[in-house]
Chain A
Amino acid sequence: MISGRLERSALSGVLVREAVNFSSFWRSTTFSSTVQPTIYLVAFGFGFGSIVSSINGYDYVDFVATGTVATGVLFASVFPAMFGTFVKYQFQRTYDAILAAPVDVEELVSAETLWIAARAGVYGSVPILVGIIFGLDPRWGMLTIPFIAFIAGLGWGACGIFIASRVKSIDGFSYVSSAVLTPLFLVAGTFFPLTQLPQWAQVLAQFNPLYHCVQLVRDASFGWAGWADVGHLAVLIGFAVLFWRLAIVFLQRRLID
Chain B
Amino acid sequence: MSDGLAIRLRGVVKRYGPITAVDGLDLDVPEGTCVGLLGPNGAGKTTTMKMLTAQAIADEGELTVLGHQLPGDSKAARAECGVVPQLDNLDITLTVEQNLLVFAHLYRIGRADRRGAIEWALDLANLRDRRDTRVDKLSGGMRRRLLIARALVHRPRLILLDEPTVGLDPQVRQELWALIDGLRSEGTSILMSTHYIEEAQRLADNVTIMSHGKAVAVGPPAALVAEHAGREAVEVYGPPARLAEIEAEARASGARTRRTGTSVSIIGNGHGLDGERRPANLEDVFVLLTGEEIE
Contacts and interface: CB of A to CB of B under 8 A. Distances in A.
A104 B74 CA distance: 10
Interface residues of A, number: 26
A209 to B, nearest CB: 32
Given A13-B106, A255-B55, A256-B56, A92 B16 contact: no
B5 interface: no
A102 B85 CA distance: 16
A16 B53 contact: no
A3 to B, nearest CB: 9
B181 to A, nearest CB: 23
B91 interface: yes
Given A1-B72, A21-B91, A256-B57, A96 B85 contact: yes
A103 B106 contact: yes
A25 interface: yes
A170 to B, nearest CB: 18
A99 interface: yes
Contact of B87 (A1, A9, A21, A93): A93
A14 B93 CA distance: 16
Nearest to B107: A101
Interface in A99-124: 99-104
A98 B85 contact: no
Interface string B199-235: 0000000000000000000000000000000000000
A91 to B, nearest CB: 10
A14 B78 CA distance: 15
Contacts of A92: 89, 91-92
A102 B78 CA distance: 5
B54 A101 contact: no
B75 A94 contact: no
Interface string A40-61: 0000000000000000000000
A97 B18 CA distance: 28
B50 interface: yes
B263 interface: no
B56 A100 contact: no
Contact of B53 (A12, A13, A20, A100): A100
A14 B106 contact: yes
Contacts of A21: 91, 93-94
A96 B89 contact: yes
A1 B57 CA distance: 10
Contacts of A9: 108
B103 A101 contact: yes
Interface of B: 14, 16, 47, 50, 53-57, 71-72, 74-76, 78-79, 81, 83, 85, 87, 89, 91-94, 98, 101-103, 105-108
24 contacts: A1-B72, A14-B106, A16-B106, A17-B91, A20-B91, A21-B91, A21-B93, A21-B94, A25-B93, A93-B85, A94-B89, A96-B85, A96-B87, A98-B106, A99-B53, A100-B83, A100-B85, A101-B103, A101-B106, A101-B107, A102-B108, A256-B54, A257-B16, A257-B47
